[in-house]
Structures are given as C-alpha cells and as structure tokens.
C-alpha cells in the first residue's frame, strides 16, 4: 500500500514538473518569435558591417595622413561630417557607404567620437544595440566632446587651447557657456581659484546639430599640477529642451615650472611703426600668429600691430603636433 502511495506521489510530481517546463517553453516561444530572431540576426549583421566600414574609413584616413589621423575627432550623421572641429563635405554615408543602399535605417545611426551609435527610437533595436552589438544608444540629450592638442606640460602663463564639440540628434538652439566651463583636478573636482577662460570662437548656428566652441585657458597664477576641463549641465540645449549632462575631459593639461618655453615676442620699431618678431623655442617648430585669437596665419616676417592691440603666437611641434601659445599686448 505504501509503495502505491509513493508511486502516486512521484507521478504527481513528474506531472507538475512537466507542466512548469511546458509553461516556460511556451512563454519563451511567445517572447522570442522566429520572426524577431531573424530580425535581430539581420540587424546585428548589418551593425557589424557598418563597424567594419567605419574601421576601413579610419584606417584609410590614417594612411593618407602619415599615421596622424585621430579617430576620436570624427563625427557624422545624415547631414554632417566633422573632423577635428572642421566641417567637411559629405555625411555618414561618406564613412559608411552601404547606408546609401538601404532604407531600413534612415536617420538611425550616427558617429560620435569615431564610434558608431544607434539613435533610432525602435526599442528592440536599442536593446540589441546596447546588449548584443555593444554600441552606444543616443539618449536624445546633447553630447559634449572635449578635445585638445596639448600633450606636453606648459609653463605658467602659457595659454592652453581646447575645442568643445556639442552634438545632438536635433538642432542645438542655445549655448549657455557663461560659468559653465570649469577647470578641475584630475579627479574631477573644481579647483578653488578658477583661471580666466576665454571663448575665442563659436562655430555653427541655432539650426545646426553640431556646435563647435574653441576656448583658451589663461594659466597665469595657476600652481604646478595636472588639470582637466569640465563642461556643466545646461551649457547646450536642443530644440526639444534637452540639455547636456556634466562632462569631464579624459585628457589633461599640466602646468609645470620647468616645462619647455613657449614662443617669445620681441617688439621693434621701424619707421615709427611697431612691429613684433616671434621667436620659437625650437627653430624646427611651426610658428603661426593671429590678431583675433582664432584665425591663425603662417608667420614669415615681423607683424605690424597698433597700440593696445593683442597678438597671439602659436608654436606647433612638427613631430608630436603639440601646441603652445603666447599672447602680447602692445603698450607702445
């Protein structure tokens, strides 16, 4: 009798387990239909192909520039192609030509900092992009990239130049830069005494999805040390009233009292006119000058400036592409 009861209990347990497994199988099949699986496979294959084309483009550009191409300075969408803060002819299809041959992904991809992003609204594709393809998805907020060519330490008093690139899926209608750019320590905390930060150039209009801002940091009275740049929330606002989040630069600049010299000025007078000679710290380096702090010309001969005017000198190391700048105000 006991054996029969044990057998009955065992049979009931088996039936319950089978029922649970059957329910789980039905649930899995309902959540992942063959059609969804096929769509996912097709999407992931396409993304892989897009990334291969992007890698080929970056490799080709690197070869054409004697291995001086910097992929993190590349941005593109359906309307714009930007490299190193300069707008180029073309758009994302210039980089990924196969996007021209399909209408499946109209306005769904972009390139940000040399990387492929998915910016479409399809929630399935967002999930596949983030968790399977391992590419970033656009959260609809303006994004900030912080770039600089400053690699080597500079002496106190040497200007440090940065380029800020604001990008968004929709038009960036406002830039609110006043008190939104800070200098931090290497851990991202604002330093107590902020240096003067000059906005030297703003590129783009309120109808553009990319806005480029060039800034110059005056290192006078800054202590020796390593620093970063932070762009605060609210610096850019797009047409949907979304704003960027806080962004701290990954690159640093260093102020060091024993750093290499920046370019020097010598003021001379010729025929009652004031002219400035720019002397590089190294004769092999490239020297440029500017009278407005944004548009630089190659320095060939002494430059005439009026009383009270400013002149800027930029010295570029031809091997490292690192730049240092100096500023002079003519008081004569």
- Residue 179 belongs to domain with CATH number: 2.60.40.2300
Yes or no: say if 183 and 255 are a contact pair by the CB < 8 Å rule: no
Which of 204, 220, 255 terminates a domain? The answer is 255
Query: Is 29 within the bounds of a domain?
Result: no
Q: Are residues 171 and 132 in the same domain?
A: no
Q: Are residues 209 and 276 in the same domain?
A: no
Classify residue 323 as exposed, middle or buried by CB count within 10 Å of its CB (0-12, 13-18, 19+).
buried
Q: Are residues 219 and 152 in the same domain?
A: yes
Q: Are residues 251 and 149 in the same domain?
A: yes
pLDDT at 80: 87
- Specify the 3-state DSSP secondary structure of 285: coil
Classify residue 5 as exposed, middle or buried by CB count within 10 Å of its CB (0-12, 13-18, 19+).
exposed
Query: Is 192 within the bounds of a domain?
Result: yes
Query: Is 47 within the bounds of a domain?
Result: yes
Which pTM does this prediction carry? 0.59
Q: Are residues 128 and 95 in the same domain?
A: yes
pLDDT at 318: 77
Classify residue 231 as exposed, middle or buried by CB count within 10 Å of its CB (0-12, 13-18, 19+).
buried
Query: Is 5 within the bounds of a domain?
Result: no
Q: Are residues 121 and 154 in the same domain?
A: no
Q: Are residues 110 and 174 in the same domain?
A: no
- How many structural domains is the chain composed of? 3
Q: Are residues 132 and 169 in the same domain?
A: no
Query: Is 125 within the bounds of a domain?
Result: yes
Which of 203, 226, 255 terminates a domain? The answer is 255
**Dihedral sign (CA 13, 19, 22, 23):** negative
Query: Is 110 within the bounds of a domain?
Result: yes
DSSP 27-74: HHHHHS-HHHHHHHHHHHHHHHHHHHHHHHHHHHHHHHTTT---GGGE
Give CA–CA dist 276/325, Å, rounded.
Answer: 15
- Burial code of 297-309, b = ≥16 C-beta within 10 A, e = fewer? eebeebbebeeee
Q: Are residues 39 and 133 in the same domain?
A: yes
Yes or no: say if 91 and 79 are a contact pair by the CB < 8 Å rule: yes
Query: Is 14 within the bounds of a domain?
Result: no
Which of 93, 119, 138 terminates a domain? The answer is 138
DSSP 155-208: -TT-BEEEEEEEE-SS-EEEE--TT-EEEE-TTSPBPSSPPPEEEEEEE--TT-
Collect the ranges in the chain with pLDDT lower than 70: 1-34, 149-152, 260-273, 329-332
Give CA–CA dist 145/97, Å, rounded.
Answer: 25
Query: Is 294 within the bounds of a domain?
Result: yes
pLDDT digit string, tens, across residues 52-86: 999 999 999 988 887 778 888 899 998 889 888 78
The CATH number for 294's domain is 2.60.40.10
Q: What distance lies between CA 23 and its chain's CA centroid?
A: 49
Q: Are residues 54 and 94 in the same domain?
A: yes
Domain that holds residue 174: 144-255
Yes or no: say if 143 and 112 are a contact pair by the CB < 8 Å rule: yes
Total residue length of the chain: 332
User: End-to-end CA distance of the chain, in Å?
Assistant: 118
pLDDT at 210: 87
pLDDT digit string, tens, across residues 102-146: 888 988 999 988 999 999 889 999 999 999 989 988 878 999 999
Q: Are residues 214 and 230 in the same domain?
A: yes
Q: Are residues 95 and 177 in the same domain?
A: no
100: DSSP letter = G
Give CA–CA dist 164/229, Å, rounded.
Answer: 10
């Amino acid at each position: 009798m006991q054996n029969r009861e044990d057998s009955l209990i065992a049979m009931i347990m088996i039936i319950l387990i089978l029922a649970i497994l059957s329910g789980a199988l039905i649930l899995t099949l309902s959540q992942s239909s063959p059609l969804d699986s096929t769509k996912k496979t097709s999407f992931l294959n396409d993304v892989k192909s897009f990334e291969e084309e992007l890698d080929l483009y970056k490799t080709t550009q690197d070869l054409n520039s004697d291995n001086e191409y910097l992929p993190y300075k590349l941005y593109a969408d359906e309307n714009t192609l930007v490299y190193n803060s300069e707008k180029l002819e073309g758009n994302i299809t210039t980089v990924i030509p196969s996007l021209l041959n399909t209408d499946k992904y109209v306005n769904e991809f972009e390139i940000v900092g040399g990387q492929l992003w998915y910016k479409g609204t399809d929630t399935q594709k967002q999930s596949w992009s983030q968790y399977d393809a391992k590419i970033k998805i656009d959260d609809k907020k303006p994004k900030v990239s912080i770039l600089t060519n400053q690699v080597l330490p500079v002496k106190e008093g040497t200007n440090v130049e940065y380029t800020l690139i604001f990008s968004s899926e929709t038009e960036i209608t406002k830039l609110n830069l006043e008190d939104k750019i800070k200098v931090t320590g290497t851990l991202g905390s604002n330093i107590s005494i902020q240096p003067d930060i000059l906005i030297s150039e703003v590129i783009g209009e309120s109808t553009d999805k990319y806005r480029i801002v060039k800034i110059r940091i005056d290192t006078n009275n800054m202590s020796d040390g390593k620093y970063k740049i932070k762009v605060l929330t609210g610096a850019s606002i797009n047409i949907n009233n979304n704003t960027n989040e806080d962004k701290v630069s990954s690159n640093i600049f260093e102020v060091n009292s024993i750093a290499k010299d920046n370019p020097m000025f010598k003021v001379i007078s010729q025929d009652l006119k004031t002219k400035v000679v720019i002397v590089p710290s190294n004769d092999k380096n490239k020297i440029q000058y500017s009278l407005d702090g944004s548009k630089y010309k190659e320095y060939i001969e002494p430059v005439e400036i009026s009383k009270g005017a400013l002149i800027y000198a930029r010295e570029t190391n031809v091997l490292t592409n690192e730049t240092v700048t100096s500023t002079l105000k003519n008081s004569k």
